[in-house]
Amino acid sequence: MATETDDIFDYIVVGAGTAGCVLTERLSAAGHSVCTLEAGPRDTNPLIHIPAGYIKNIYSKKLTWNFRSEPGPGVNGRSFPLPQGRVLGGSSSINGLNYVRGQSTDYDNWAAAGNPGWSYNDVLPYFRRSEKRLGKADPKYRGTDGELPISDLDWHNPVSDALIDAAGAIGIPRNPDHNGATQEGAGFFQRTIYRGKRVSSAKAFLSKARRRPNVSIRTHAQCTSIILENGVACGIRYIQGGSGGKIRTVRARREVILTAGAINTPKLLQLSGLGPAHVLKAAGIEVVRDIQGVGANLRDHYAVRMVSRIHGAPTINTKVQGPALAIQVARWLVGLPSPLAISPSLVHIFCRSDPSVDRPDLEFACAPASFREGVVGLLDKHPGLTLGVWQERPESLGHVRVKSGDVFQAPSIQPNYLTDERDQKTLLGGMRIARSLFRAAPLARYVEAETAPPPDVESDDELLAFAREKGTTVYHMIGTARMGPRDRPDSVVDHELRFHGIGNLRVCDASIMPSMPSANTNATTLMIAEKAADMILARTALQ
């Protein structure tokens, strides 16, 4: 293939996902020239912008990386699709839209692990910077002037209300703001939805940046390697237009910034010779730096869906199938509340798997809907309720490893779900709490039958067997370019997200998270990008 040399910019941003869009906006607004490379297309597909389009987009061959996990030892040898956004906006263009920050202790623990500047008090201003809270907002915790609207649920259902009452009946308090002073409790998720439409990172941030003459956004640009000269990152090689396209290069005066996500960031680093020597040698790649942490420390949320058949009230199952769907489409078109404009999960419950636990370790993501054979998007014909539950801070560790030097070959991805006994114990606690919710008086009057798992699955061994056989990923992969001190063997970047041992190279996405926040990961990734922008621009930390 022919090689073509492109321009030089102050910064190159690799990946126009959640973090990449924020960084492109912040760096270009400060007057710097920025080239942002995205392997996928522009975000013109209308299903991206309709919240209900999630159930189609998550399986899209055009909008996602069609990754798949290796068979897992803790899940009966099963493997799972691991879609990641491959479009402007990245996973913020295809995700479940819920905005969850996590717990203050999550970030205090990051700082205590040798990462100064990442305590909760340090990062809270960066959460506040990007958000435009549209509901009730305590200014101590919430922002109202940012680009990303965070709205409250406007479509309600009696079964959802009964579920929150059931939580109260078993001792879990109502919490009107899970992103405020405390996370614990039950309520309705806040979402990145505005006037019935998804607001991705591309919509909120890149739409501003792209109008500037100092910004070049290049789609269908598959990055093949980082250009390294004398231990310094100087640019990126990429192919534009698929495997038969031209090899191009773009160079950076200041920095190369990787924002390609927890799978593609370690993949690109390894393709560039930066990673565990044994992995690189097995793939036939020359070792530039033997860095064991690249691709290690992979974590993901693993969920079990507990399902009941409902009677006495309509649910989403009956609202969006057959002639009823036309009514909901019409409501959405005129701006009225509709299940087409909601996130896939409406009710949150953050609670403790056991009273002895010092803080919540379970997240429930619940919807008044049920799916045939557990397949999201394939609704049952009868009314149903699904309680999805997962261990908030999984300890099971996996990895991402390239198989060859071919950029178009997917890497080996092994999350090792449920291999840590702590995850097993916590998930069992969550499954038993789900049973208690179904049977609590406020909800029990709607529950016709518990269908998954059936009531006779009762012992710990039986429930864990169900979890291994029927559980699934929540698509929250993090940690594969871990932030930590240089003397820690599994760390990849320092507390300013600079790559250990290579100049002018930073990683600014979910892969730098040292441990899983007690949350869906999009809000934390936005925060990382906001903080990274200040560090790159050498601005004084926000107060």
| Tokens describing residue 325 | 């769907």
**Superfamily holding 1-149+190-298+397-410+477-543:** FAD/NAD(P)-binding domain (3.50.50.60)
Cβ-Cβ contacts under 8 Å for 515 (sequence gap 6 or more): 106, 109, 110, 113, 299, 393, 479
Over residues 355-372, the pLDDT tens digits come to: 999 999 999 999 999 987
| Tokens describing residue 52 | 């209900």
Over residues 141-195, the pLDDT tens digits come to: 999 999 999 999 999 999 999 999 999 999 999 999 999 999 999 999 999 999 9
Average model confidence (pLDDT) across the chain: 95
Please give the pLDDT value at position 96: 96
Architecture of the 154-188+302-391+416-476 domain: 2-Layer Sandwich (3.30)
- Average pLDDT, stretch 288-308? 97
**pTM summary value:** 0.96
Residue 29 has pLDDT above 90, yes or no: yes
- Average pLDDT, stretch 36-60? 94
pLDDT bin (cut points 50, 70, 90) of residue 542 is low
Residue 106 has pLDDT above 50, yes or no: yes
Please give the pLDDT value at position 2: 42
Transcribe 474-521 into DSSP letters: -S--B-TT-B--TTSTT--B-TT-BBTT-BTEEE-SGGG-SS--SS-S
Phi-psi category of residue 312: left, alpha or beta, with phi > 0 → left and psi -120 to 50 → alpha: left
* Residue 137: HSE in the Cβ half-sphere, 13 Å Cα cutoff: 16
Buried b (16+ CB within 10 A) or exposed e, 193-222: bbebbbbbbbbbbbbbbbeeebbbbbbbbb
Q: Alpha carbon of 168 to those of 185, 242, 435, 445: distances in Å?
A: 9, 54, 14, 16
Please give the pLDDT value at position 377: 62
> Of 178, 399, 476, 495, which is the active-site residue?
476
Rg (C-alpha) for the chain, rounded Å, is 23
Over residues 241-258, the pLDDT tens digits come to: 777 788 999 999 999 999
Please give the pLDDT value at position 541: 61
Please give the pLDDT value at position 1: 41
Q: How far is the C-alpha of 210 from the C-alpha of 196, rounded, in Å?
A: 24
pLDDT bin (cut points 50, 70, 90) of residue 435 is very high
What percent of the chain stands above pLDDT 70?
97
Domain boundaries, the chain: 1-149+190-298+397-410+477-543, 154-188+302-391+416-476
Question: Does residue 399 carry a catalytic annotation?
Answer: no
* Residue 471: HSE in the Cβ half-sphere, 13 Å Cα cutoff: 31
Are 338 and 155 within 8 A, CB to CB?
A: yes
Residue 389 has pLDDT above 70, yes or no: yes
Residue 16 has pLDDT above 50, yes or no: yes
